[in-house]
Every structure is written in C-alpha cells, then in structure tokens.
C-alpha cells in the first residue's frame, strides 16, 4: 500500500565513510526500493541520486523551497568546526553552513551513525578537523541513532514512529531512542550465562572461543555499551558482532574510538 503522502527526506553526507547508508541499503523490511519509491520521498541523497554537481545542488535548493518545515533531515557524518569548518566542503560551502541551513527548515533532524551523533572516527584524538556531532552545532533537538554503522531497523523504526505519532520517541540523555538504546549489550547477550558462570575466552581461537564462551577477557565492551544489537541483530542472517565471536567495541557510545580502546585484550 502506497503512503498517501510520502514524507520528504533530505539526507546529508559530511565527514563519514558512507557505511551507514550501506547498512540501510541492506535492510529488507521494507526493501530499500519500496522505502524510497513508495514510503518516503527521498529528495536529496548524494550516494543514491543520479544527479551530480550543479544539478544536485539545484535539487537540494528546490526541495528546501518546496518542503520547508515539512521534511525530515537525516545527517550522516560529523561536522568539521576547526578553522571555520573548512575541512569539509560541498559545492564550495562548509558542512557547518549547509547543516545549519537545512536543519533550520526541517520538521525533525536525525543524526544517523556515531559520526553524526558524536563526531565518530574523525573526532578521535587528536581530532585534527575539530569534528563534532550534529547536535553540537545546532540549537534545536536532534535524534541520535549511533552505531558504526547503526542497525538500519533502529533508524527505520524511529522514522516510522515520528510519522505515526508526530513526535519523537522517548530519548535517553544522549538523545538516543530508549526503545533501541535503553539497555546494555550485556543485558541480552547470548553469551551471558557463560559470563555469569565464569567461562571466558582467554585467546582468540582457543577451545573456549570455539565453544562460544564469554568474550569479556578478550576485550568485550558489552557491559558498558547501550544498544539492542543482541536482540535486533543485523541483516536477515541474524548475525551480530558478539554472535560471530568478535567482542563488542562499544560503537554506539560517544568517543568510543578513544574511550573503548584497546578494542582487543589478550
């Protein structure tokens, strides 16, 4: 069933790797084609749009005029603030200028991924470009969907929640929806019984690793990381980092590149 009025979405890319878009491209409930052709009206998205250069800039300008106050602004990537933000420019304008302009006209702003939510990898020490999250440069509320990349269903659920209830879902103190980020990885981990009974992997590839024991001693940050990865999982194969034998590296938390390292312990 087609949405009677497809909500317009303007998606901005700044300092990032496009992994968040790649993650969304792999969602299958609904499949991406249905999402962008039937459910939402994707007005601007540099990875997915066919236009480029001047044509793309015109599309953004027209969408802003046509959907003023009505569109959802999604931001992927951190914002450079050092030296006036000159380290990230698109069409001759800084990310700082663009995000302020677009967000000021939006009905809601969603920061997808840890780059957009908290600055991400480019904000890691020594943060040469002064990268920060979107919420730090705007004087309006921003909904953060962190993760590197985040689970696309946390993003889609947030969009659908806004469209259904006309207001954002309940958020935690880091502006993350509580339905997705209200509990720790550790609270729902399938390896938790091994943690509770003291059965730990001591080294990658050891017999305990082969038996699926707890990854805490090889660096798992699940006890201090808030997200629903262990419940929602990724893609249709039901995989998630800890499930396939890799410690959680805390990718939904602010500054995890600095705070959660070393990722591996031996």
Bridge partners (DSSP) listed for residue 234: 239
Could you tell which of ligand F3S, ligand SF4, none binds residue 240, using a CB distance below 5 to 8 A set by kind? ligand F3S
Rounded Cα distance, 141 and 175, in Å? 8
Inter-residue contact 217 to 209 (CB < 8 Å) = no
Site string for ligand F3S, 145-184 (x = CB under 6 A): --x-------------------------------------
Could you tell which of ligand F3S, ligand SF4, none binds residue 212, using a CB distance below 5 to 8 A set by kind? none
Q: Binders of ligand F3S: how many residues, by CB under 6 A?
A: 12
User: Which of the ranges 11-19, 33-41, 66-74, 95-103 carries the binding residues for ligand SF4, by CB under 6 A?
Assistant: 11-19
Among 10, 74, 111, 248, binds ligand F3S (CB under 6 A): 248
Residue where the block lists tokens 């914002």: 79
Sign of CA dihedral 18, 19, 20, 21: positive
What CA–CA distances, in Å, run from 66 to 33, 50, 75, 110? Answer: 23, 20, 19, 20
Token representation of residue 264: 């591996």
Q: Is 260 in the site for ligand SF4 (CB under 6 A)?
A: no
CB atoms within 10 A of CB 46: 16
Q: Is 114 in the site for ligand SF4 (CB under 6 A)?
A: yes
Closer residue to ligand SF4, CB minimum distance, 44 or 195: 195
Closest by Cα among 212, 186, 202 to 264 = 202
Inter-residue contact 129 to 93 (CB < 8 Å) = no
Q: Which residues bind ligand SF4 (CB under 6 A)?
A: 16-17, 19-20, 76-77, 113-115, 120-121, 148-149, 185-186, 189, 191-192, 195, 214-216, 220, 222-223, 242, 248
Q: Which residues bind ligand F3S (CB under 6 A)?
A: 147, 185, 225, 227, 229, 240-242, 248-249, 251-252
């Amino acid at each position: 069933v087609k949405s009677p009025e497809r909500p317009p979405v303007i998606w901005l890319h700044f300092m990032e790797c496009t992994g968040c878009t790649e993650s969304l491209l792999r969602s299958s409930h609904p499949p991406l084609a249905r999402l962008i052709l039937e459910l939402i009206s994707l007005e601007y998205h540099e990875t997915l749009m066919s236009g480029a250069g001047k044509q793309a800039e015109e599309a953004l300008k027209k969408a802003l005029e046509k959907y003023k106050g009505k569109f959802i602004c999604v931001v992927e990537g951190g914002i450079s603030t050092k030296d006036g933000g000159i380290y990230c420019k698109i069409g001759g304008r800084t990310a700082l200028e663009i995000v302020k302009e677009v967000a000021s006209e939006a009905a809601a702003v969603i920061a997808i991924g840890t780059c957009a939510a908290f600055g991400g990898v480019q904000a890691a020490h020594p943060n040469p470009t002064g990268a920060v999250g979107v919420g730090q440069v705007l004087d309006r509320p921003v909904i953060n969907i962190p993760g590197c990349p985040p689970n696309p269903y946390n993003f889609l659920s947030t969009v659908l929640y806004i469209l259904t209830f006309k207001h954002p879902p309940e958020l935690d103190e880091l502006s993350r929806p509580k339905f997705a980020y209200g509990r720790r990885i550790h609270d729902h981990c399938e390896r938790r019984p091994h943690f509770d009974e003291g059965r730990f992997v001591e080294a990658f590839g050891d017999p305990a690793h082969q038996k699926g024991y707890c990854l805490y001693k090889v660096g798992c940050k699940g006890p201090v990381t808030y997200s629903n990865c262990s419940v929602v999982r990724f893609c249709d194969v039901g995989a998630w980092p800890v499930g396939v034998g890799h410690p959680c590296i805390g990718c939904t938390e602010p500054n995890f590149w600095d705070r959660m390292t070393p990722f591996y312990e031996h």
